[in-house]
Amino acid sequence: MGKIKSFFTGAGRWFKDHAPTRRRIIQLYAALLTNANLKGFGEGQIYTGGTKNLCTPGLNCYSCPGAVAACPLGALQNSLGSSGTTTPYYILGIIALFGIILGRTICGFLCPFGLTQDLLYKVRSPKVKKSAATRVLSYLKYLLLITLVIAVPLIYHNVPGFCKYICPAGTFEGSVGLLSSEYNNDLYAMLGYLFSWKFCILVMCIVLCIFIYRGFCRFMCPLGAIYGFFNSVALLGVKLDKSKCIDCGMCISKCKMDIRRVGDHECINCGECIPVCPTHAISWKGGKLFVEPASVSVTASEAPASAGSAIGAILASGTTMPVQDAAANVAAEAPAEVRETSAAPQNAPAKPQMQKVRYVRTKNSKILEIVAWVLAAALLITALVYYNTRPSVHATFGKTVNDFTLETYQTAYGEDSYTLYQNGDKPTVLIFWSSRNETSINYLEELGESLDTLTETSNIVAVHIVNSDEPAAVQSIIDSRGFNGYNIPFVQDAAEVDAYTDCGGDGAFPTVAVLNVHNEIYSRNSRPVPAEEIQTEVKAARDATVYTVGDKLYDFTVDAYQSSYKEATFSTESARGKVLVINFWYVSCGPCVEELPYIEQIQERYGDKVVTLAVHANNNDAQQAQAFINYENAKANKTSWSNWQIIFGQDIGSDFYATRLGGKDSYPLTVVVNTQGYITFVRQGPIVNGHLDDLTPAIESAMN
Sheet architecture: strand order including 557-560: 569-571, 557-560, 647-650, 610-616, 579-585, 669-673, 679-684
Residue 361: its H or E element = strand 357-361
Would residue 358 be called left, alpha or beta, if left means φ above 0 and alpha means ψ between -120 and 50 degrees?
A: beta
Three-state SS at 570: strand
Measured N-to-C along each axis, helices 309-317 and 323-333 cross at an angle, to the nearest 10 degrees, of 140
pLDDT at position 613:
94
Query: Are the C-beta atoms of 650 and 187 separated by less than 8 Å?
Result: no
Find, among 24, 33, 83, 84, the residue nearest to 54 by Cα. Answer: 33
3-state secondary structure of 607: helix
Residues 203, 124, 31: CA angle, nearest 5 degrees: 60
Model pLDDT for residues 599-644, shown as the tens digit of each residue: 888 888 899 999 999 999 866 567 778 888 887 545 555 556 777 8
Strand partners, 558: 570
In whole angstroms, give the CA distance from residue 325 to residue 328: 5
CB atoms within 10 A of CB 228: 23
- Measured distance CA(158)–CA(152) in Å, rounded: 9
> Any idea what DSSP says for residue 389?
S
For residues 266 and 597, what is the distance between their CA atoms, to the nearest angstrom?
53
Decide if 629 contacts 636 (C-beta within 8 A).
no
Beta bridge partners, 681, equal 672
Phi, psi (deg, nearest 5) at residue 82: -105, 5
Ranges in the chain, pLDDT < 70: 1-2, 84-85, 186, 189, 286-362, 390-398, 618-621, 632-640, 652-659, 663-665, 688-693
**Residues contacting residue 648 through CB under 8 Å, at least 6 positions apart:** 560, 561, 563, 565, 614, 616, 625, 629, 641
Nearest to 181 by CA among 667, 670, 685, 664: 664
Q: What is the per-residue pLDDT for 632?
A: 54
- DSSP code, position 476: H
d(CA 558, CA 224): 42
Residue of 234, 233, 80, 208 lying closest to 146 (CA atoms): 80
Cis peptide before 168 (omega within 30 of 0): no
- 3-state secondary structure at position 524: strand
State residue 193's pLDDT score: 82
Contacts of 405 (CB under 8 A, 6+ apart): 417, 418, 419, 420
117 CB contacts (<8 Å, ≥6 apart)?
209, 213, 214, 215, 216, 217
Start-to-end Cα distance in the chain: 88
| Parallel, antiparallel or unpaired: strands 428-433 and 459-464 | parallel
Q: Could you write out the DSSP letters of every residue in 478-510?
A: HHHTTGGG-SS-EEE--TTT-HHHHTT--S-SS
**DSSP 3-state assignment of 580?**
strand
Taking alpha carbons only, the member of 704, 662, 698, 677 closest to residue 189 is: 662
Predicted local distance difference test score (pLDDT) of residue 361: 57
pTM of the prediction? 0.63
| Cα–Cα distance, 108 to 105 (Å, whole number) | 5
Instruction: Map residue 178 onto helix, strand or coil.
Output: helix
Predicted confidence (pLDDT) per residue in 363-386, tens digit:
777 888 889 899 999 999 999 998
Instruction: Set out the domains of the chain in order of their start, with CATH numbers.
Output: 20-228 (no CATH), 238-359 (no CATH), 405-544 (3.40.30.10), 557-703 (3.40.30.10)
Residue 59 CA, distance from chain mean position = 11
- Closest to 528 measured CA to CA, from 452, 437, 466: 437
